[in-house]
Structure 1
Amino acid sequence: MRRKVTVRPKALDDMEEIYFYGLAHFGLPVAEDYLRHLHQAFDNLSHHQFGRNIAAIGPGLWVLPVANHLIYFRQQMQEVNIIRVLHHSRDPLSQSFFS
């Protein structure tokens, strides 16, 4: 069963930041390929339950590593909510996930 994937506003902001960073440092083809890779991970989450539960950071929060970033999300039977997409070097405890 395919679940609905919703990308929350902070995750959209993260994706925009990732794109513009990639564009500035690596060029258009690399920036676009990287975003496609992240979107493929979102699609995979719509079909399968992946990731690791990290309830210590937030209730019901899961994380999936993709290349140099971590996708933070909540999943239910029929829906996946992408909360944030952060570089793996960023401290998740210092980030805002739910405000």
Structure 2
Amino acid sequence: MPGYRLSEEAQNDLKEISRYTQENWGNKQAKHYLVGLAAGFENVARSPKLGKAREEIEKGLRSFQVARHIIFYRKGTECIEIVRVLHASMDIKRHMT
């Protein structure tokens, strides 16, 4: 089964998502939300073309929305690279450059 790896930026995004969710909705909800995002990572690893092509941002970049966050990823030589995990309300182009 193909795998995925998280970029340093994506790891930082997940830490911030976890912190924010814990502060606002508690530990149980934070864990539940992160499990949902991890399921999204696995879905795009299994089916890389599942997401939308985002060539307007970067060649080879794709996105897949899970709840209120968008997973940005690209197909690497050995696995899917999760580039960023951004809230849908964010200025995507600003955070992706």
Q: TM-score, normalised by structure 1?
A: 0.90
The answer for the alignment partner of 1:10 in structure 2 is: 9
CA contact (8 A) 1:8 1:84 kept: yes
Q: How does 1:1-99 map to 2 (within 5 A)?
A: 2-49=1-48, 50-76=50-76, 78-96=78-96
**Cα deviations across residues 40-95 of structure 1 (Å, max 9, x unaligned)?**
11111221131000111011110000000000000247410000000000111111
SS at match of 1:95: helix
Aligned AA (2:44): L
Gap runs ≥5 in structure 1 = none
Gap runs ≥5 in structure 2 = none
How many aligned positions are there? 96
Task: State the distance in 2 between where 1:70 and 1:46 align.
Answer: 15
Aligned AA (1:15): L
Kindly, what percent of the aligned residue pairs are identical? 29
Task: State the distance in 2 between where 1:40 and 1:96 align.
Answer: 22
Q: After the TM superposition, which of the residue ranges 21-30 and 77-86 deviates more from structure 2?
A: 77-86
Which of structure 1's runs of 4+ aligned residues deviate more than 3 A?
A: none
Q: TM-score, normalised by structure 2?
A: 0.92
CA contact (8 A) 1:19 1:35 kept: yes
